[in-house]
Structure 1
Amino acid sequence: METLQFAYDNLSLIGSRALEHIAIVGVAVSIAVVTGVPIGLAITQSKRAADFVLYLASMLITIPSIALFGLMIPLLSPIGYGIGYVPAVIAVILYSQLPIIRNTYTAIADVDPALREAGIGMGMSALQRLRQVEIPLAMPVIMAGIRTAVVMNIGVTAIAAYIGAGGLGTFISRGISQTDPRQLITGAVAVSILAIVVDLCLAFVQKLLTPKGLATGAAA
């Protein structure tokens, strides 16, 4: 009951911290999409390049989040951004690369070769086939990668409170430092609810972006 009362008394603060959280994840994942999707498309042309890039992205995601945030401090301090919003965004961008690149690469590589041949037979250029055939067919898998990156990094961003980035992780860090279970539970539950709500919203967007033929086939 004390935790519920604490959450009720601090609804406005929870809301503002949630907006900070969304600002970090939203900006970072948007940048990751702009960089990761083209990389995923490019590496479909070379198996060796794909193996190298996916291995490198896998290495990045194995770095513990608290260690990566800590590394940002000495790297960005000389330009005045050692703590706060900027290092948090950069860390989340790095963590977002693997699911976005991997899903983009897998989705494009798995497009039915017969459909590519049909596009060639219709006189489409490589760019036209990519834009009008391959990307629409790959979109559900690409969106699944984006959803994975977003949900994963909503949790990772909670750690960013330790470098002064704000967000819902502030409740968790203060709950630990002050031995206050009310703040700890409030922060943990708020992060979980935010992840669920955002994932449901992205699932709706994924449904909208899925070609009707694929959606009908999946339903059947």
Structure 2
Amino acid sequence: MNLLADAFAWIFSPARLTGSLPLPTAIAQHLAYTFGSVAIAAVIAVPVGWLIGHTGKGREVAVFLSGAARALPALGLVVLLYLLFGVSLKTEAAVAAFVVLAIPSILAGAYAGIEAIDRSVIDAGRAMGMTQWQILFRIEVPLGLSLLIGGFRSATLQVVATVTIGAYIGVGGLGFYILQGIALRDFAEILGASIIVVALAIVLDGLFALLARFAVPRTDGPRRRSSRAARTDSVRSLQVSH
């Protein structure tokens, strides 16, 4: 109990606003690495995932690569890319490692969201004369958005935890305090920095949970209407919303 109190005392100490790496700066670095890496991963994984989900081709390869990437040890990947990139490019090496770890979850969310859509809804879109691009962006992408956000949620939580490891190669972030605490045997500092990392993860998880809740288009028709009419109304409502 005393250690927990010491950890919170360390967090809120005025000394955290000074020094070689003030706490607000470390938090900002941590979030910048997290959001930047997830954004780069999204640019790569989302279009590929949509293409796989829309065409149904390449799913087995995507599943294999995603599984292989998930199995990579985070610390080993960070150190390996650091050695390959060189000391002068340690930031780029860390970001590359975070991107590799974020891609599998986003890729899975992108194609799984489209695969989960009732095929009859897509058939209804084709029957209304919609092109392949219109089906993708007016039906599949909106209806698959919830699972895609779930992929972003998983990727963000993994990266926000993994960024802590980046301190091993000197890129800053909250991991700096954990390593410094280990070297100085300052357990209050170690626990305090860990509490902040956990708090960031909880806040980000909550934000993505709220976002996913409001991401599902309201396309449900009256219960007594036929399923065919309900599917047609679903497609029409998506067209109107765009």
With the length of structure 1 as denominator, give the TM-score of the two structures: 0.89
The one-letter amino acid of 2:71's match is: T
Partner of 1:176: 182
Secondary structure in 1 matching 2:176: helix
C-alpha deviations, 1:99-146, integer Å up to 9, x for none?
111121111112111111110111100100110011100000100110
Give the equivalent residue in structure 1 for 2:128: 122
Bigger mean CA deviation after superposition, 7-16 or 108-117: 7-16
Question: Which of 106, 116, 127 is the equivalent residue of 1:110?
Answer: 116
Contact 2:82–2:94 (8 Å) recurs in 1 = no
* Structure 2 residue corresponding to 1:145, chosen from 144, 151, 161: 151
* Aligned-residue offset at 1:201: 1.9
- 2:103 maps to 97
Aligned residues of 2:49 and 2:107 also touching (Cα < 8 A): yes
Of the candidates 68, 72, 80, which is equivalent to residue 77 of structure 2? 68
**SS, match of residue 170 in structure 1:** helix
- Among 63, 67, 71, the alignment partner of 1:58 is 67
- CA distance in structure 2 between the aligned counterparts of 1:193 and 1:29, rounded to whole angstroms: 19
2:135 is the alignment partner of 1:166 = no
Deviates more, 1:127-136 or 1:49-58: 49-58
SS in 1 for 2:117: coil
Given that residues 61 and 94 in structure 1 are in contact (C-alpha distance below 8 angstroms), is that contact kept between their aligned partners in structure 2?
no
Which residue of 175, 188, 197 maps to 2:203?
A: 197
Instruction: Find the aligned partners of 1:51 and 1:147 in 2 and give their Cα distance.
Output: 23
* Amino acid in structure 1 at the alignment position of 2:197: V
* 1:165 counterpart SS class: coil
Relative to its length, the structure with more helix (as a share) is: 1
TM-score by length of 2: 0.82
Q: Which residue of 2 aligns with 1:211?
A: 217
Give the Cα separation in 1 of the matches to 2:128 and 2:56: 25
Q: CA RMSD in A?
A: 1.8
Shift of 1:206: 2.5
Please, which runs of 5 or more residues in structure 2 have no aligned partner? 224-242
Deviations for 1:14-39, whole angstroms, at most 9, x for unmatched residues? Answer: 22211100000101101111111111
SS at match of 2:197: helix
CA distance in 1, matches of 2:159, 2:219: 32
Distance 2:60 2:16 in 1: 47
Identity of aligned residues (%): 27
Mapped partners of 1:67, 1:201: distance in 2? 30
Name the residue aligned to 2:163: 157
Distance 2:178 2:151 in 1: 27
- Whose radius of gyration is greater, 1 or 2? 2
Deviation at 1:202, TM superposition (A): 2.2
Count of residue correspondences: 211
- Give the C-alpha shift of residue 11 in structure 1: 4.7
User: Quick one: which amino acid aligns to residue 172 of structure 1?
Assistant: I
